[in-house]
Amino acid sequence: MDLTGHFIGRNIISFRDLTKDEIEYILQKAFEVKNRQHENALAGKVLATLFFEPSTRTRLSFEAAITSIGGRFFGIADSSSSSIMKGETLKDTIKTVSGYCDAIIMRHPYEGAARAAADVSSVPIINAGDGANQHPTQALLDLFTIKETFGNIDGLNIGLMGDLKYGRTVHSLSMALAHYNVKLTLIAPKLLRMPKDVKEHLQSRNVAYDEIECINEECKKLDVIYVTRIQKERFGDLQEYERVAGSYKISKATLADLNPNVKIMHPLPRVDEIDPDVDDTPNALYFHQAHNGIPVRQALVSLVTGAIK
Amino acid sequence: MSSNSQRSFKVYKIDNGTVIDHINSSMALKIIDILEIKKDGIVSIGMNFDSAVTGKKDIIKIENVHLDKKHTDMIAIFSPQATINIIKDSEVVEKRQVEVPKVINKVLRCPNPTCVTNKYHDCDSKFIVEHYDENQTYGRCYYCERETLITPDLVK
């Protein structure tokens, strides 16, 4: 299917909206960007980065992505900006800002905010995270990294570990992986298991998955372990947190019991769920993964603004 | 006075308007809320009548208002067996079933407290109906994407 020009003016809100062909097209463009086939593509384009809740990595990644291929940006870095503090609604902010730019990249603490913004925006909205819901650009860079590392995504055994209940990155990634022929292992404490509707989505796509509570013998077959942080505040009982948290950490000792070629991924920031002694091993993929946010976001912003067809 | 002679006073005949019959028992008030017809003509409500089909049923009669299909299909969310009779000049000129709509706009609130529709007054709710049967309707919030069983307490 020829998708040339297909993304011009398109909102990127959720993986529910993307077909496999569309995902593959975005990844293909991201590879082209990484291979320097679209240098200065965003020249003359102005982007708004509206971060209604604080973010370091995603905001910096977008801003670096925009400027390094010739685009310019303006924006807000948190919701203490004056009009929002004065009680302006999200829709009014978007109606105003969309008149100043070619696309809006937004993060918001409330689920559905990006979709609500898209309802009234005159320019494309790229969702950079809406509450616990979706974070599609993170999942795209995760797919990109897996594809770049393994050559393809089909046929892989992928473990998702940690806070699978509240982590929006694993929700988006699960939906993305549902387009591929993969086997998933969901590794989480009972309290933080993958939500029912995400699992139903996997079932509806015939994606095989296992649910386990901690790394076991079966995990030796995993090609990737995608680690997410378990936050203390999710547990009412801190003793319970202390009891389970250790089971979801990756160290050199853990690696010794896994597939020697397993790749460890993480959306970052990590706290202590991956021991720094893993960083220098060939298994560590997480910083490379973070750096891949640049070409993926460059491709996305360029596609929706028409800078790349 | 016999029960039969009281009958005509319980739900009296209308010459012109809409009769919604076979409403699931005790759902009439919720359906009036969904249809937003409190200010449209004279509305009569009968609750807990005997029904050969469902055991008990409610009835709503709205005088001088002819509700269209798009409007009345909302009833199917809570009362899929309801029937609609359009009355003109004392005659039933149209009789139709209700069908669960694909999209439910505005009338429900999302149960997710951090859904954007619960945070800004200018964000109306919208649910996409995912699946349903005779007893239950499941919808996905168009905004926060969470699936929920649609229950009467979600009517705003």
* Residue partners of A258: CB distance under 8 A and separation at least 6: A215, A219, A220, A222, A225
Q: In this predicted model, which residue has the larger pLDDT, A246 or A65?
A: A65
Summarised one tens digit per residue, pLDDT across range A62-118 is: 999 999 999 999 999 887 766 677 788 999 999 999 999 999 999 999 999 999 999
Residue B66, CA distances (Å) to A50, A285, A300, B9 in order: 47, 64, 49, 23
pLDDT band at B2 (very low <50, low <70, confident <90, very high): very low
DSSP one-letter code for B106: S
Instruction: Answer yes or no: do B145 and A110 touch at CB < 8 A.
Output: no
Residue A104 lies in a domain: yes
Instruction: Answer yes or no: do B122 and A16 touch at CB < 8 A.
Output: no
* pLDDT of B34 strictly over 90: no
* pLDDT of A232 strictly over 50: yes
| Residues of chain B contacting residue A15, judged by C-beta atoms under 8 Å apart | none
- Contact assessment for residue B127 and residue A115, using Cβ atoms and an 8 Å cutoff: no
In 3D, which of B156, B52, B148, B142 has the Cα closest to residue A119?
Answer: B142
In Å, how far is B73's CA from the nearest CA of chain A? 25
Angle at A106 between CA A102 and CA A112, to 5 degrees: 120
Residue A5 lies in a domain: no
| Residues of chain A contacting residue B147, judged by C-beta atoms under 8 Å apart | 197, 200
In Å, how far is A200's CA from the nearest CA of chain B? 11
Do A92 and A224 have their domain in common?
A: no
Residue A8 lies in a domain: no
Please list the residue range(s) of chain B that carry CATH number 2.30.30.20. 103-154
pLDDT band at B10 (very low <50, low <70, confident <90, very high): low
Q: Indicate which CATH number applies to the domain containing A267.
A: 3.40.50.1370
Q: Where are the alpha helices (DSSP H) in chain B?
A: 3-10, 28-35, 69-72
Do A35 and A161 have their domain in common?
A: no
| Helix, strand and coil percent figures for chain A, each rounded to 5 | 45, 15, 40
* pLDDT of B97 strictly over 70: yes
- Quote the mean pLDDT of chain B: 88
Pairing of strands A157-161, A224-227: parallel
Do A146 and A258 have their domain in common?
A: yes
* Number of domain units in chain A: 2
Q: Considering the domain B3-97, what is its CATH architecture?
A: 2-Layer Sandwich (3.30)
pLDDT score, position A1: 82
Please list the residue range(s) of chain B that carry CATH number 3.30.70.140. 3-97
Tokens of B78: 């809570």
What is the CATH number that goes with domain B103-154?
2.30.30.20
Question: What is the percent of chain A with per-residue pLDDT over 70, rounded to a whole number?
Answer: 99
In 3D, which of A207, A141, A203 has the Cα closest to residue A169?
Answer: A141
Which of A29, A34, A107, A229 is catalytic? The answer is A107
Which of A108, A135, A168, A270 is catalytic? The answer is A135
> Average pLDDT in the B3-24 region?
75
pLDDT score, position B11: 66
Name the residue range of residue A61's domain.
Answer: 15-134+293-305
pLDDT score, position B104: 94
In Å, how far is B143's CA from the nearest CA of chain A? 4
In Å, how far is A230's CA from the nearest CA of chain B? 21
- Quote the mean pLDDT of chain A: 93
Q: Is A59 a catalytic residue?
A: no
Cis omega (within 30 of 0) for bond into A269: yes
Summarised one tens digit per residue, pLDDT across range B18-30 is: 999 999 988 999 8
In 3D, which of A106, A101, A73, A70 has the Cα closest to residue A91?
Answer: A106
- Contact assessment for residue A267 and residue A56, using Cβ atoms and an 8 Å cutoff: no
Do A150 and A274 have their domain in common?
A: yes
- Contact assessment for residue A223 and residue A261, using Cβ atoms and an 8 Å cutoff: yes
Instruction: Answer yes or no: do B146 and A131 touch at CB < 8 A.
Output: no
Strand partners, B21: B83
Residue A4 lies in a domain: no
Q: Is A108 a catalytic residue?
A: no
* pLDDT of B12 strictly over 80: no
- Contact assessment for residue B113 and residue B103, using Cβ atoms and an 8 Å cutoff: no
**Closest residue on chain B to A90 (Cα):** B120
> What strands lie across the sheet with B55-63, from one edge to the other?
B43-51, B55-63, B17-24, B83-88, B91-97
In Å, how far is A198's CA from the nearest CA of chain B? 10
| B9 in reach of chain A (CB within 8 A) | no
* pLDDT of A142 strictly over 90: yes
pLDDT score, position B40: 72
Q: Is A19 a catalytic residue?
A: no
Angle at A35 between CA A30 and CA A36, to 5 degrees: 95
Which of A16, A57, A252, A309 is catalytic? The answer is A57
Q: Where are the alpha helices (DSSP H) in chain A?
A: 20-34, 57-67, 82-85, 90-97, 113-120, 136-150, 168-177, 196-204, 238-245, 252-256, 286-291, 293-305
Do A55 and A103 have their domain in common?
A: yes
Instruction: Answer yes or no: do B116 and A110 touch at CB < 8 A.
Output: yes
Do A151 and A117 have their domain in common?
A: no
Q: Is A86 a catalytic residue?
A: yes
Do A90 and A140 have their domain in common?
A: no
In 3D, which of B60, B71, B61 has the Cα closest to residue B25?
Answer: B60
Summarised one tens digit per residue, pLDDT across range A178-228 is: 999 999 999 999 889 999 889 999 999 999 999 999 999 989 999 999 999
pLDDT score, position B1: 44
The least confident of A217-226, B48-57, B91-100 is B48-57
| Residues of chain B contacting residue A197, judged by C-beta atoms under 8 Å apart | 146-147
Do A279 and A145 have their domain in common?
A: yes
Rounded Cα gap, residues B97 and B81, in angstroms: 7
Instruction: Answer yes or no: do A110 and B122 touch at CB < 8 A.
Output: no
DSSP letters, A72-123, are EEEEESSTTSHHHHTT--HHHHHHHHTTS-SEEEEEESSBTHHHHHHHH-SS
Nearest-CB residue to A90 (from B115, B120, B142): B120
Size of interface A-B (CB pairs under 8 A): 58
Q: Is A243 a catalytic residue?
A: no
* pLDDT of A246 strictly over 50: yes
Instruction: Answer yes or no: do B145 and A111 touch at CB < 8 A.
Output: yes
Do A233 and A189 have their domain in common?
A: yes
Residue A94 lies in a domain: yes
Instruction: Answer yes or no: do A197 and B112 touch at CB < 8 A.
Output: no
Do A176 and A39 have their domain in common?
A: no
Angle between helices A196-204 and A168-177 (to 10 degrees): 10
Instruction: Answer yes or no: do A130 and B116 touch at CB < 8 A.
Output: yes
* Residue partners of B16: CB distance under 8 A and separation at least 6: B63, B64, B87, B88, B89, B90
In Å, how far is B127's CA from the nearest CA of chain A? 12
ipTM above 0.95, yes or no: no
Do A173 and A92 have their domain in common?
A: no
pLDDT score, position A82: 64
Do A282 and A297 have their domain in common?
A: no
CB within 8 Å of chain A, chain B residues 69-128: 112, 114-117, 119-123
